[in-house]
């Protein structure tokens, strides 16, 4: 999972005066500034056009043509309109892919959020080593996914994996984590939850930092115990941050390919294939690339991400206003 988006990275640093961001020289000589601004923005505009817009346009183009591997190189594919989309919706892989995407996405963000929240509340206590330990929690998030994915694969390995070995010690029989249809999705889910905890921890922790301490003092004076303080102060005050954490998690988890691909390649069969993995497999995962359906699935994913993206923007605006 990746972190991105705007704002307050380091507003705290370097702020000699609370100067308004723009409009310093409104009215006077607006024209040269306008040209300068254009100059400074041109590289970005060109970059976005060439490296974002163009690949996306190519994707749409791919999704409405019938590109096989040969047509792909020659560029003479037949126009088929929405046939690729129709084929996807009627494919037997569609239902399972949607179900797996829903389970994987919601399962991941729910668990990451809950664990992240518990840890954030725990680390809010200032105890010895709390800073160092909190920094250590970031490690899984910084590791390359291939590293985490292969480590989890080895830990979950059915014969010699440490997980099964521990389970055996408790008298639980061997589980074929990665190769059994009943467990493959759970396995990638567990690995992905582990990967997402740092992100949730850090964001929720900084959300907690912004809750004024006197609210807790007041609650304590009114005789609220720790649980009541959590329920009546922390949870409501943290709501905006929580909403954004969950939404970002959702958008990022929707597009996860690497972890699943590395651990199970979406299998066995289709049991751990999400929409993103399905798209990757159609395009790059088999010997015979099928770019057109892959692009169609990808575009479907964009639409889903956009819906949640707009929701995110809406929430953020509402938060800014309040």
Partner 1 sequence: MTRQRAWWKTALGIVLAALMLFPVYWMVNVSLTKTENMRADPPHWYPKDPTLQGYANVFSDQFPALGTSLFVGLGCVVLTLVISAPAGFALAKLRVRGKGTLNFVLLVAQMIPSVVMAIGFYAIYVRLGWLNTVWGLVVADSTIAVPFGVLVFTTFMSGIAGELLQAAKIDGAGTWRTFTSIVLPISRNAILTVSLFAFLWAWSDFIFASTLDRNGDMVPVTLGIYRYIGNNTTEWNSIMATAAVASVPAAILLIVAQRYVAGGVTAGAVKD
**How far is the C-alpha of 104 from the C-alpha of 274, rounded, in Å?**
8
Chain Cα centroid distance, residue 41: 28
Q: Does 218 bind partner 1 (CB under 8 A)?
A: no
Tally Cβ neighbours within 10 Å of residue 97. Answer: 22
Instruction: Report, in Å, the least distance between residue 134 CB and partner 1.
Output: 8
Interface with partner 1 (CB under 8 A), residue total 125
Q: Does 148 bind partner 1 (CB under 8 A)?
A: yes
- Of the listed pieces 106-114, 181-189, 213-221, 288-296, which binds partner 1 according to CB under 8 A? 288-296
Give the footprint of partner 1 on residues 166-205 (CB under 8 A).
Answer: 168-169, 194, 197-199, 202-203
Q: Does 6 bind partner 1 (CB under 8 A)?
A: yes
Give the footprint of partner 1 on residues 84-103 (CB under 8 A).
Answer: none
Q: Does 37 bind partner 1 (CB under 8 A)?
A: yes
- Of the listed pieces 51-59, 100-108, 178-186, 216-224, which binds partner 1 according to CB under 8 A? 51-59
The encoded tokens of residue 31 equal 């024209």
- Of the listed pieces 93-101, 126-134, 171-179, 211-219, which binds partner 1 according to CB under 8 A? 126-134
Q: Exposure of 311 by Cβ count < 10 A (0-12 exposed, 13-18 middle, 19+ buried)?
A: middle
Tally Cβ neighbours within 10 Å of residue 235. Answer: 12
Question: Could you tell me which of 74, 75, 94 has the C-alpha nearest to residue 85?
Answer: 94
Q: Does 258 bind partner 1 (CB under 8 A)?
A: yes
Q: Does 10 bind partner 1 (CB under 8 A)?
A: yes
Coil, helix or strand for 65?
strand
Of the pair 96, 161, the CB lying nearest partner 1 is at: 161
Coil, helix or strand for 78?
strand
**How far is the C-alpha of 108 from the C-alpha of 249, rounded, in Å?**
8
């Amino acid at each position: 999972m990746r972190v991105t988006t705007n704002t307050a990275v380091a507003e705290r640093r370097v702020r000699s005066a609370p100067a308004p961001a723009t409009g310093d020289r409104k009215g006077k000589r607006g024209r040269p500034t306008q040209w300068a601004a254009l100059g400074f923005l041109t590289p970005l505009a060109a970059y976005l056009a060439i490296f974002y817009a163009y690949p996306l346009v190519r994707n749409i183009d791919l999704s409405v043509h019938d590109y096989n591997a040969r047509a792909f190189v020659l560029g003479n594919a037949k126009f088929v309109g929405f046939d690729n989309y129709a084929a996807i919706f009627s494919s037997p892989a569609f239902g399972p892919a949607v179900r797996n995407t829903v389970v994987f996405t919601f399962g991941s963000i729910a668990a990451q959020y809950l664990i992240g929240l518990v840890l954030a509340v725990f680390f809010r206590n200032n105890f010895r080593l709390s800073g160092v330990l909190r920094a250590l929690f970031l490690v899984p998030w910084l590791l390359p996914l291939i590293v985490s994915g292969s480590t989890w694969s080895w830990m979950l390995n059915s014969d010699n994996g440490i997980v099964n070995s521990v389970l055996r010690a408790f008298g639980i029989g061997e589980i074929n984590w990665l190769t059994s249809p009943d467990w493959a999705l759970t396995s990638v889910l567990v690995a992905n939850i582990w990967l997402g905890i740092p992100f949730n921890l850090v964001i929720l922790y900084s959300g907690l930092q912004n809750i004024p301490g006197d609210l807790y003092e007041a609650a304590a004076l009114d005789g609220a115990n720790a649980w009541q303080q959590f329920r009546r102060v922390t949870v409501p005050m943290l709501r905006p941050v929580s909403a954004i954490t969950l939404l970002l998690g959702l958008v990022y988890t929707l597009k996860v390919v690497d972890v699943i691909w590395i651990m199970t390649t979406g299998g066995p069969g289709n049991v751990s294939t999400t929409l993103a993995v399905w798209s990757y497999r159609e395009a790059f995962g088999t010997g015979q690339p099928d770019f057109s359906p892959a692009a169609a699935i990808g575009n479907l994913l964009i639409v889903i991400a956009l819906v949640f993206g707009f929701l995110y923007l809406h929430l953020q605006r509402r938060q800014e206003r309040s």
